[in-house]
Amino acid sequence: MPSSRLLAAVEVPVFQQHFWGYEITYPDHWVHATHGDVEAFALHPQALDVAYDGPRMGYLLIRAELNAYQMPLDTLWAEHLSRIAIMHGAKQVGSKPYFVGQSKGFAAELMLPRREDKRLWTAVLAAGGIVLHVLAMHRSSEALDFQPLISSLRYASLVSGVTLSARGMPLPTGSLPVEPADVFPDITAADHWETYRASAAVDALQIFYAREAPAHGWEVLGYSPYPNRDPAIQHASLVLYRDGCGAAVHLLPHDIGTGFVVLHHPAVQTGS
């Protein structure tokens, strides 16, 4: 592991989660992979397999989750800690407050069976409808390799790759335009709609638009989450306003895991 003095002189990779908005700096000799909704970082490719138990087996996992109804942090932490302890046969120990920017949460190191020369550290962070679940597992001798990685976790001040539609609505990276009728066969006035297929689940898209719409001058007047407490509501939506015009963003599930659709209502003159 290079010293902090050397790291300052070397450009190191930064992973930025485009939809959830967090980022982390990791050494250039580490590896990163995405497994569904989990971002994994490890010392080498074999260690990305959690079943690997050979030399340098350490890994860091980050999973983001939508918390649209603001479930209490204490409840989230208790559920997370219990689940992790059961999965790894670990003993729960006292937790302590943990902060990343404006996010607050809890962190703890769990005691693993004595026969295992490993350390298990985990944390939960909550802010702005986002919950981050963080877990690091590594040999005791690898602790110094993981401390800078964990400390670098933060929310990005600017998310790269965001583009704008013809009507000034932010679009996630990789969005592909589709015909409105392909989404809603009975739609009328198709020229009043913009539809795109995005490579993220609806929960991640909700966080993207809650962050990026205001960043591009749109005021959020209303928000309906998905999943919703009302089972009749089968998509998320945001009502927006900018420069005398209103707009709506509807976020609909498309395929499980990939290929979700973002449906945009155009800005409509609301009058003076």
Mean pLDDT of all residues in 212-220:
96
Angle at 152 between CA 150 and CA 153, to 5 degrees: 75
In this structure, the strands spanning 176-178 and 260-264 are unpaired
93 has a pLDDT exceeding 80: no
Long-range contact set of residues 82-91: C-beta below 8 Å, sequence gap at least 24? 84/110, 84/120, 84/122, 84/135, 85/110, 88/112, 88/120, 88/137, 89/113, 90/120
Residues sharing a CB contact under 8 Å with residue 190, sequence separation 6 or more, in sequence order: 179, 180, 181
What does the pLDDT read at residue 265?
A: 60
106-126 residue pLDDT tens: 999 888 877 678 889 999 999
Lowest-confidence pick of 115-119, 203-207, 223-227, 228-232: 115-119
The residue ranking higher by pLDDT, 21 or 3, is 21
33-81 residue pLDDT tens: 998 889 999 999 999 998 898 999 999 999 999 999 999 999 999 999 8
- pTM of structure: 0.87
What does the pLDDT read at residue 185?
A: 79
88 has a pLDDT exceeding 90: no
272 has a pLDDT exceeding 50: no
Domains of the chain: 4-155 (3.40.1000.10), 163-269 (no CATH)
| C-alpha closest to that of 17 among 153, 181, 190 | 153
